[in-house]
Amino acid sequence: MIQSLLEDFLNLIYPRTCMACGNTLFRHEEVICSHCLIHLPKTFYHKDPKNPLLSLFWGKIPIEMVSSFYFYNKGNKVQNLIHQLKYNKQPEIGVYLGKRYGVFLKKSECFRHVNLIIPVPLHHSKQKIRGYNQAEMIAKGLSESMDIPYDYTSFIRSSETETQTKKTKLERWENVKNKFKVEEVDKLKNQHILLVDDVITTGSTLEACAQVLLEVEGVKISMVSMAAAHR
């Protein structure tokens, strides 16, 4: 009773707000309000083994499956969430949404054989500035709800890259190719890896990562992101 009253009092002074719309959260809500959770535009690609994201990688690299939680459009609430996750020091958004998406993926036949989760790595200099890797926060949440370990040390970004924003598809590829490296090969052998990023646009970053990981003996690759451009 006393704790509940204290929480109510603190919420009056420092109201908890929805990271998507800015409205005050009710006591039972966490990070994102119930209204936004219901209405954020889900792709349901995890149910579709022929979803449009797969076409990004046709003829380039062999992947098992690719999916994304939400559609990303300029100005929508999903863009707001991704922006806050990446630039406004709100890592809890990634963990929370990762947990929620993991519940869906765990029930999906398409992701049943995944046994290791790896986030797309940030270069250490950029991670030092940001304070965390947003893809790792998503991977952490996925790991918890899917009950699958995640590994953020065996695969690294070996050199810094420029932001991909406003680059063409070719420029994005030139920016990320040959920028990733496997540090601990034995840990990755014969694993079905779930490669995790925040947003899929052209797929260049995920393709560059997968090319390197697929050089490891027995590796299979599936991919997910929190958001993807509407196709």
Neighbouring CB atoms inside 10 A of 150's CB total 20
Confidence of residue 12 (pLDDT cuts 50, 70, 90): low
Element (H, E) at 199: strand 192-200
Is residue 70 over pLDDT 50?
Answer: yes
Give the residue ranges of DSSP H helices in 18-164. Answer: 34-39, 77-87, 91-106, 124-130, 134-146
Three-class SS of residue 147?
Answer: coil
What pLDDT, on the 0 to 100 scale, is given for residue 202? 92
Q: Which of 94, 186, 204 is nearest to 142 (CA)?
A: 94
What pLDDT, on the 0 to 100 scale, is given for residue 27? 86
Neighbouring CB atoms inside 10 A of 80's CB total 17
> In this predicted model, what pLDDT tens digit does every residue of 110-124 receive, in sequence order?
999 999 999 999 988
pTM (2 decimals)?
Answer: 0.89
- Give the pLDDT mean for 40-56: 96
Instruction: Give the Cα-Cα-Cα angle 173, 41, 64 (nearest 5 degrees).
Output: 50
Is residue 191 over pLDDT 90?
Answer: yes
What pLDDT, on the 0 to 100 scale, is given for residue 230? 79
> In this predicted model, what pLDDT tens digit does every residue of 128-186 receive, in sequence order?
889 999 999 999 999 999 999 999 999 999 876 556 555 565 555 455 667 899 999 99
Q: Which of 99, 139, 148, 92 is nearest to 120 (CA)?
A: 139
Q: Which of 159, 224, 158 is nearest to 197 (CA)?
A: 224
